[in-house]
Structure 1
Amino acid sequence: MSKRKTKIISTLGPSSEKLVDELLKYTDVIRLNFAHGDEEQHKKYFELVGDKAPVLVDLPGPKLRIGDLENEPIILKNGDQIKFGDKGVPVEDQLFFKLIKEGTDVLIADGRIRVKITKVDDGYAEGIVKEGGILTSRKGINIPDADIPLGITQRDLELLKEALILGATYIGLSFVVSEEDIRKVKEIVSGKAWVIAKIEKKAALKNLRNIVREADGIMVARGDLGVEVGLPNLPQTQRKIVNIARAYGKPVILATQVLESMVNSPLPTRAETIDVANSISQGVDAIMLSDETAMGKFPIEAAKTLNELIISVERTFKPKRTHIYKNVDEAIAYSAVISSILSSAFAIITYTRSGSSALRISRLRPVVPVITLTPSEDLIKKLRICYGVYPKKAEELKSLDEIVKKAREEAAYLGQKGFIVVVGGVCGDNGGTTRFLKVEELD
């Protein structure tokens, strides 16, 4: 059982595809960005992961992107001239040329590169680099205040079908602006995977509570979100998203530029380590590495560093408990956490078929691990993303006595003596409830 409660998601890419087993020493979930690669490569990556870890598939969404560069990377310096189109840097969607005009600021790669457009023609544009950087294929393009059509694209639907066939555990839905986007995908997914809503548009913030209610999980996608709300507003925006996701008991993932300096350096910056600590104190369920493990020079070092950072921070940083809802299920979950503190229990053990009991307890951020027993293999994979939850396979249990007996057996494997808190739903119901609690002593 991992010493970490905050989970780690690592993106698989060219830098790490031959290092999957090493990467998984420090990783709970593997992410595949379907904005890159083709069907053959996607299948290859799934085969590399196999059943060693659950997979999060990120759908590209309606995003403007740089096309495939013949010679990459391209080093852009301040003052350089740059051309877009057939005679220069390719752009995937011709809509780009309709959205820009002379004087438009174009932001590339989450705003790290900024270009001011000086000339626009049919399928062609020129600009001056105002903020330089390293340009690689398929990096995202942002045009502030541009009216880009949003919603689920046909390509998203095709990639979604592919992801489900390959066995994705989570689907990352990009540029969500309403709960209708999520409902549409959930109808197709039909419970086979959790739908993770990526919050990266201003419009999503206006409809945040409805989105959170409908989604199975939330991702704070700070790249495009930072461009949308402005960097001065990003910290409070992140905190707001995390707080609302936690209030509704939905797993929340922190993403983008977590240890960005480790793309090219074996060590993170001081600011990055503090960012990780602050995010843990806010109570995120998981932290995601993107370019650090997909394209960086030090993929294993990045995952190992994040693992060590989280372990160190969690020794002293304790996330605050979130809002408590007034109903019986939440009362039992809250009592379980309090009982674990007052009895100095070394674990909370829950039996669940739907995952609801584990999620209710996880959202309260208990100090002790939440060992979750379930007969569902799919649920075991899904719960791997949740804070402090350690799911394990158990047979179908038909009575409270059976649940308590199994909980004691699992606790005995930990080799500790003392109290455990056993919690779960009522046997024979339809799932989704948390209705019993028992404190047991192991001697």
Structure 2
Amino acid sequence: MYKRKTKIIATLGPASEKLIDELLKYVDVIRINFAHGDEDQHKKYFDLVNNRAPILVDLPGPKLRIGVLEKGPITLKNGDVVTFGDKGIPIEDPIFFKLIKVGTEVLIADGVIRVEITEVNENSAKGIVKEGGLLTSRKGINIPDADIPLGITPRDLKLLKEALDLGANYIGLSFVVSEDDIRKVKEIVKGKAWVVAKIEKKAALKNLKNIVNEADAIMVARGDLGVEVGLPNLPQTQRKIINVSRKYGKPVILATQVLESMVNSPLPTRAETIDVANSVSQGVDAIMLSDETAMGKYPLEAVKTINDLIISVEKTFKPKKTKLYRNVDEAVAYSAVIASVLSSASVIITYTRTGSSAIRISRLRPVVPIITLTPSEDLTKILKICYGVYPKKVEELKSLDDIVKRAKEEAIQMGQKGFIVIVGGVYGDKGETTRFLKVEELD
């Protein structure tokens, strides 16, 4: 049976919380957006997942947002005059009124709604709708070129502690602009979770290599990023982030408006299916659904659709290879992939204590699955985000013979036949790691 290599992340929300059992048949990672809800709701969602899948917690960062619309969603039409604040559309952070002036264009919901400001007061403002749409509570606000204070907010720190206490496996860090942002969070996380840097600011692109090097994984957050760089520049920007992430061996997630039409439709558009295909062929590790599963009318259909799309594309297109670093570990990983091709092996099996060998092989995008045996319970969850990696917890294996024996047992149990490639490392008497690669033929 074909194993899908590109992973699926689905956001849990009001539309999908009652469908969690069905979602987990298709989804590799569950996302919980801490920009919404309170402590009770966050815990409820963790309890619903009940340790059956790794969880990505998204921190809100210093993002301007619409407040809660007490009377529900509002339909804004072109030419409507709207009021922000002062019993009009609520704004969460009053700094909004200091960042705008007459003539400022305010972009809402990743730029879907556009309003031109016509009047500004201390705690209110008016504007005319240039591009209408359905406005819902807590949608993000973008003000192009505004000098919004960035960095880790006090609210982020509070939510970070909450996420770690609940057992989050990944922390999504919003509006990263430098590697220092990531280091600050890593000092708090202390290896309990991976830190995922969300690339959504122009400043981040100028410092992309350093950010990628410091982060555990990268997210192409196309919503705010599209507003920042402009839609005509978004495709090449996406490709650049993916290429740099893969070059430095960091898993990369594609996010935002992947199947946006499926919020209200049971079928995707033709353009969306091609977008997914392009992203898979570019070599992303995972694709994330947001509104589609959090608040859409067809969350389960969206997950099934992207699962089918990915499988179809993977059987046809192969992501391009990345350039290699010149060191022993990369040589072993590269040799493992070449050996799997020349021997027509059905699987690569790696034994790892840190996950590094699985990640190195994953970035080379082999055509066969990478079964990763590890004694670490945490790694069995964290590595699920990586392309083609299928982690499994095993006992501590202390010798080369033990690893080979356990790998062959696992392959036979999976129903594999013919050749398999085994990669791993064992510690010698002096503490050094002995790296090895072995091709075995199953009886």
Deviation at 1:432, TM superposition (A): 11
Answer with 417-426 or 261-270: which moved more: 417-426
Shift of 1:426: 2.7
SS at match of 1:19: helix
Inter-partner Cα distance in structure 2 for 1:287 and 1:142: 24
| Aligned twin of 1:234 | 234
What is the CA deviation profile of residues 277-308 of structure 1, one whole-angstrom value per residue up to 9, with x for unaligned ones?
00001000000000000000000000000000
Distance 1:377 1:431, change over 3 A: farther
Following the alignment from structure 1 to structure 2, what is the Cα–Cα distance between the partners of residues 318 and 427? 35
Q: Residue type of the partner of 2:137? A: S
TM normalised by structure 1 equals: 0.98
Change (3 A) 1:368 1:431: farther
Distance 2:13 2:79 in 1: 32
**What letter is aligned with 1:289?**
L
- Inter-partner Cα distance in structure 2 for 1:313 and 1:427: 40
| Alignment length (residue pairs) | 443
Superposition TM-score, scaled by structure 2 size: 0.98
How far is the alpha carbon of 1:353 from its aligned partner? Answer: 0.2
Secondary structure of the residue aligned to 1:425 is: strand
Does residue 414 (structure 1) correspond to residue 414 (structure 2)? The answer is yes
Contact 2:333 2:361 in 1 (8 A): yes
Aligned to 2:426, the other structure's residue is in SS state coil
Distance 1:31 1:52 in 2: 13
After superposition, the C-alpha distances for 1:403-429 in whole angstroms (9 at most, x for unaligned) are 000000000012121000000123359
Aligned-partner residue type, residue 78 of structure 1: N
Q: 1:319 Cα shift?
A: 0.4
Which region of structure 1 is more displaced relative to structure 2, 78-87 or 339-348? 78-87
Question: Which residue of structure 1 lines up, in the alignment, with residue 306 of structure 2?
Answer: 306
- The offset of 1:435, in angstroms, is 1.8
The offset of 1:26, in angstroms, is: 1.0
The amino acid of 1:106's aligned partner reads: V
Confirm or deny that 1:327 pairs with 2:327.
Answer: yes
Aligned-partner residue type, residue 239 of structure 1: R
Tell me the distance in 2 between the aligned counterparts of 1:120 and 1:183: 38
1:433 shift after superposition: 6.5
**Shift of residue 121 of structure 1?**
0.6
Matched, 1:404 2:434: no
Aligned match of 1:140 = 140
The C-alpha deviation readout for 1:347-393, integer Å capped at 9, x for no partner, is 00000000000000000000000000000000110001000000001
The answer to whether the 8 A contact 2:77-2:132 is kept is: yes
Question: Is the 1:425–1:431 Cα contact (8 Å) retained in structure 2?
Answer: no
Aligned to 1:291: 291
Structure 2, unaligned stretches of length 5 or more? Answer: none
Amino acid at match of 2:71: N
What one-letter code is carried by the residue in structure 1 that aligns with 2:389?
A: V
Q: Report the Cα distance in structure 2 between the residues aligned to 1:255 and 1:124, rounded to whole angstroms.
A: 33
Q: Which runs of 5+ in 1 are unaligned?
A: none
Match of 2:31 in 1: 31
Q: In structure 2, what is the Cα distance between the partners aligned to 1:2 and 1:300?
A: 21
Q: Which residue of 2 aligns with 1:46?
A: 46
Contact kept, 8 Å, 1:112 with 1:132, in 2: the verdict is: yes
> Residue 174 of structure 1 corresponds to which residue in structure 2?
174
Q: Alpha carbon RMSD of aligned pairs, Å?
A: 1.3
Are the structure 2 counterparts of residues 2 and 216 from structure 1 closer, same or farther at C-alpha, using a change threshold of 3 Å?
farther
Question: Where does residue 336 of structure 1 map in the other structure?
Answer: 336
Distance 2:16 2:188 in 1: 31
What amino acid is the match of 2:175? F
Change (3 A) 1:324 1:433: farther
User: Is 2:352 the partner of 1:352?
Assistant: yes
Structure-2 separation of matches of 1:133 and 1:385 = 34
Cα shift readout 1:208-251 (whole Å, capped 9, x = no counterpart): 00000000000000000000000000000000000000011111
Q: Distance in 2 between matches of 1:125 and 1:61?
A: 24
Check 1:335–1:290 CA distance in 2 against 1; reply closer, same or farther (3 A cut).
Answer: same
Partner Cα distance (2:31, 2:131) in 1: 29
Q: Deviations over 1:70-99 (max 9, x none)?
A: 012111111111110032000000000000
Identity of aligned residues (%): 82
1:59 aligns with 2:59: yes
Residue of structure 2 in register with 1:81 after alignment: 81
Alignment partners' CA distance in 1, 2:239 and 2:47? 37
Partner Cα distance (1:234, 1:429) in 2? 52
CA distance in 1, matches of 2:96, 2:431: 48
Retained in 2: the 8 A contact 1:424–1:433? no
CA contact (8 A) 1:356 1:434 kept: no
Give CA deviations for 1:188-220 in whole Å, capped at 9, x if unaligned: 000000000000000000000000000000000
User: What amino acid does structure 1 have at the position aligned with 2:193?
Assistant: A
- Separation in structure 2 between the aligned mates of residue 161 and residue 416 of structure 1, nearest angstrom: 43
- Deviation digits for residues 2-25 of structure 1 (CA, Å, limit 9, x no counterpart): 721000000000000111001111
Supply the AA of the counterpart residue of 1:311.
Answer: I
Match of 2:218 in 1: 218
Q: Distance in 2 between matches of 1:87 and 1:364?
A: 55
1:84 alignment partner AA: F
What is the one-letter code of the residue matched to 1:223? G
Q: Does 1:190 align with 2:173?
A: no
* Cα pair 1:322 1:364 within 8 Å, conserved: yes
After superposition, give the CA deviation of every residue in 1:319-371 in whole Å (9 maximum; x if it has no partner).
01101110010000000000000000000000000000000000000000000
CA distance in structure 2 between the partners assigned to 1:262 and 1:129 by the alignment: 25
In 2, Cα distance between equivalents of 1:419 and 1:261: 44
Q: Secondary structure at the match of 2:232?
A: helix
